[in-house]
A and B are shown apart, each in its own frame.
Chain A
Amino acid sequence: MCCSFAQLYLKGTLILNFIPVFESIKPMIRKIANNTIVLVIALFACNFTSIAAPDGKALFQSNCASCHNPLKDATGPALKGVDARVPSKEWLYDWIHNSPKVIASGDKYANDLYNKWGKTVMTPFPSLSTEEIDAIITYVNSVEPAAAVPAAGGSTQAAKDSDGPAWLYTVITLILAVLAIIMWRINHGLQRVSNDKEGIATPRDIPLYRNKVVIALAVILAFIFAGYFIVDGAINLGRQQNYQPEQPIFYSHKVHAGINQINCLYCHAGAEKSRHAMIPSPNMCMNCHKQINEYTGEAQHPLYTAEGEKVDGTAEIQKLYKYAGWDPAKKDYIRNADGSIKASPVKWVKIHNLPDHVYFNHAQHVNVGKVACQRCHGPIQEMDEVYQFSPLSMGWCVNCHRQTQVQFADNNYYSIFEKYHEEIKSGKRTGVTVEDIGGAECMKCHY
Chain B
Amino acid sequence: MSQKQYWKGLEELQNTATHTETVDNEFKEPLPFELSDKLLDATTPRRDFLKFLGFSTVAATLAASCEMPVRRAIPYAIKPEEIVPGIPNYYASTFVDGGEYCAVVIKTRDGRPIKLEGNEKSSITQGSTSARVQAAVLNLYDKTRLRQPYADGKEATFEAIDRRVMEGLAGATGGAYLVTSTIISPTTKDVIAQFIAKYPNVKHVVYDAISYSGMLLANEQSYGKRALPSYHFDKAQTIVSLGADFLGTWLSPIEFSKQYSVGRRISAKNMNMSKHYQVEANHTISGAAADHRATCRPSEMGAVAVALYNAVTTGAAPALASKNLNILVAKAAADLKKGNGIVVSGSNDVNVQVVVNAINSAIGANGTTINWAITSNYKAGIDADMQTLVAAMNAGQVGAIMLHDVNPVYDFHNGAAFAQGLAKVPVTVSFAERMDETAQKCKYVVPDHHFLESWGDAEPKTGYYSLMQPGIAPLFKTRAFQDSLLLWAGATTNYGAYWNQYWMGKLGSQQNFDQALQDGVIEPATMPMAGGASAANVGGAVAAIQAMKPASGMELVVYEKISIGRGGAWSNNPWLQEMPDPITKATWDNYACVSPLTAKNLGEELTGINEVDSKKRVLKIKANGKEILLPMVVVPGMHNDVVAIAVGYGRDKGVGRAAADTGKNAYPMLAFNGTTTINHAPATIEKTGDVFDVAITQTHHSYEGRKIVREYTLEEFRKDPNHLINDRKAEIGHYTHLPWEHHDAAPAAGHGEAAAAGHDAHGAHAAGAAAVAAHGMDENTKATIEMEEGFRENGTLYPNYVAPGIHWGMSIDLTSCIGCGACVVACQAENNISVVGKTHVLKSQEMHWLRIDRYFSGMPDDPDTIQTLFQPMLCQHCDNAPCENVCPVAATPHTSEGLNMMTYNRCIGTKYCANNCPYKVRHFNWMDWNGADAFADNLYEDYRRDDMNDDLTRMVLNPDVTVRSRGVMEKCTFCVQRLQEAKLTAKQAGRPLKDGEARTACQQACASDCIVFGNVNDPNSAIAKIRHQEQQERVFYVLEQIHTLPNINYLSKVRNTDIIVAGDEKLDGIMNAHI
Contacts and interface: CB of A to CB of B under 8 A. Distances in A.
Interface in B935-992: 960-963, 973, 976-977, 980, 983-984, 986-992
B973 A274 contact: no
**Interface core residue of A240, A361, A437, A443 (most chain B CB under 10 Å):** A443
B72 A347 contact: yes
B987 A364 contact: yes
Contacts of B674: none
Contacts of A347: 72, 74
A323 B77 CA distance: 8
B925 to A, nearest CB: 13
B905 A357 contact: yes
Given A240-B68, A274-B87, A438-B897, A368 B79 contact: no
Nearest to B79: A281
A273 B977 CA distance: 16
A420 interface: yes
A350 interface: yes
Contacts of B977: 359, 447
Interface residues of B, number: 56
A373 B897 CA distance: 29
A343 interface: yes
Contact of A437 (B804, B961, B962, B986): B804
B78 A341 contact: yes
Interface string A360-396: 0101100110000000000000000000000000000
A341 B71 CA distance: 27
Contacts, number: 156
B77 A447 contact: no
B64 A274 contact: no
Interface string A263-297: 00000011001111011111110000000000000
A278 B75 CA distance: 7
Given A416-B992, A419-B804, A437-B805, A443 B74 contact: no
A364 B1017 CA distance: 23
A232 to B, nearest CB: 13
A278 B992 contact: no
Nearest to B84: A274
A243 B903 CA distance: 28
A278 B79 CA distance: 11
A34 interface: no
A349 B72 contact: yes
Contact of B64 (A234, A245, A357): A234
A411 interface: yes
A175 B82 CA distance: 69
Interface in A208-243: 233-234, 237-238, 240, 243
A418 B84 contact: no
A248 to B, nearest CB: 10
B71 A353 contact: yes
Contacts of A240: 68
A346 B75 contact: yes
Secondary structure call for the B interface: loop
Contact of A281 (B77, B896, B993): B77
B158 interface: no
Q: How large is the interface on A (under 10, 10 to 19, 20 to 34, 35 or more residues)?
A: 35 or more
Nearest to A238: B68
Contacts of A341: 77-78
Interface in A381-435: 410-420, 422
Interface in B975-1017: 976-977, 980, 983-984, 986-993, 1015, 1017
A234 B897 CA distance: 33
A282 to B, nearest CB: 6
A162 B905 CA distance: 37
A48 interface: no
A15 B74 CA distance: 51
A75 B993 CA distance: 36
A355 interface: yes
B984 A368 contact: yes
B758 interface: yes
Contact of A368 (B71, B78, B987): B987
Contacts of A243: 68
A442 interface: yes
B86 A276 contact: yes
Contacts of B897: 438
Given A274-B84, A413-B990, A441-B901, A350 B79 contact: no
A249 to B, nearest CB: 12
A426 to B, nearest CB: 9
A367 B987 CA distance: 9
B72 A350 contact: yes
Nearest to A343: B77
Interface in B536-591: none
Contacts of B988: 363, 367-368
B85 A278 contact: yes
**Interface core residue of B77, B806, B897, B977 (most chain A CB under 10 Å):** B77
B464 interface: no
B72 A359 contact: no
A446 interface: yes
Contacts of A363: 984, 988
B901 A443 contact: yes
A277 B465 CA distance: 40
Nearest to B896: A438
B77 A270 contact: no
B522 interface: no
B960 A411 contact: no
A420 to B, nearest CB: 6
B645 interface: no
Contact of B992 (A283, A413, A442): A413
A417 B987 CA distance: 13
Contact of A349 (B73, B79, B992): B73
A359 B981 CA distance: 12
A350 B71 contact: yes
Contacts of A305: none
A345 interface: yes
Contacts of B891: 442
Given A411-B990, A416-B805, A273 B84 contact: yes
Contacts of A438: 805, 895-897
A444 B980 CA distance: 8
B767 interface: yes
A167 interface: no
B75 A348 contact: yes
Contacts of B71: 349-350, 353
A398 to B, nearest CB: 13
A199 to B, nearest CB: 57
Contacts of A350: 71-73
B445 interface: no
A359 B976 CA distance: 11
B652 to A, nearest CB: 38
A356 interface: yes
B352 to A, nearest CB: 53
Interface string B885-921: 0000001010111010111111000000000000000
A393 B988 CA distance: 26
Contacts of A283: 77-79
A419 B87 CA distance: 33
B959 to A, nearest CB: 9
B75 A280 contact: yes
Given A240-B68, A270-B86, A274-B84, A419 B758 contact: yes
Nearest to A234: B64
Contacts of B905: 355, 357, 446
Given A345-B74, A443-B901, A447-B976, A356 B963 contact: yes
A195 interface: no
Given A413-B990, A418-B767, A356 B79 contact: no
Contacts of B960: 359
11 contacts: A345-B77, A350-B72, A357-B904, A357-B905, A413-B986, A416-B993, A416-B1015, A416-B1018, A437-B896, A443-B899, A446-B901
The 10 closest A-B pairs by CB, nearest first: A274-B86, A350-B73, A443-B901, A343-B77, A442-B903, A276-B86, A350-B71, A275-B86, A279-B75, A281-B76
